[in-house]
Amino acid sequence: MIFDKQALFSDDQAITATAVSTNVIDLGAPDTPKHAAAAISQDVGRGNAASLRVQVTEDFNTLTSLMITLQKDTVENFASAETVIEVSVALADLVAGYVLPVEAIPRGADQQYLRMNYTVTGTDPTTGKITAGLVFDGENWAA
């Protein structure tokens, strides 16, 4: 698995309460081609898949579940964040090595900024870390 440091949302980020990813990915402002009436729309979920990997790097404790959400917005402070993907993971699965069952960013990631949001259900954990980001290519091991 090849992670690009500039395409990481979370790099072994400790999740000890509801939090957003340490990093925000800026896809760049849509540009308006010469003589065009409007900017080109962008959607990283269209065309060739943009591989996404969200992996637990340290076992979680005490929480009931963790909601992992990919969010988009037109402004970097995510004043009006919208959900692109949302997956709830139970504590039993939040062990080192677990990979979220989402392999690529789906259609709808069509705004300039992307980030992850981690919502804790139950008691705040004292252990648990996640690495998440865009990757060169997902694993595809034959069984």
CA distance 102 to 109: 14
Q: Determine the Cα–Cα distance for residues 104 and 127; give it in Å rounded to an integer.
A: 27
Domain ranges of the chain: 3-26+48-135
Q: What is the pLDDT of residue 66?
A: 98
Q: Which residues touch 18 (CB under 8 Å, ≥6 apart)? A: 117, 118, 119, 120
Per-residue pLDDT 10s for the chain (143 aa) are 677 888 999 999 999 999 999 999 988 776 666 666 766 666 665 556 778 999 999 999 999 999 999 999 999 999 999 999 999 999 999 999 999 998 888 888 888 899 999 999 999 999 999 999 988 765 555 44
Q: Which CATH architecture has domain 3-26+48-135?
A: Sandwich (2.60)
pLDDT at 6: 85
Q: Which residues contact 67 (CB under 8 A, 6 or more apart)?
A: 86, 87, 88, 89, 117, 118, 119, 121
| C-alpha to C-alpha distances, 143 to 53, 139, 140, nearest whole angstrom | 20, 12, 9
Q: Structure tokens of 110?
A: 């069509």
Q: Who contacts 143 (Cβ-Cβ below 8 Å, separation ≥6)?
A: none
State how far Cα 109 lies from the chain centre.
Answer: 11
In whole angstroms, what is the distance from residue 45 CA to residue 34 CA? Answer: 25
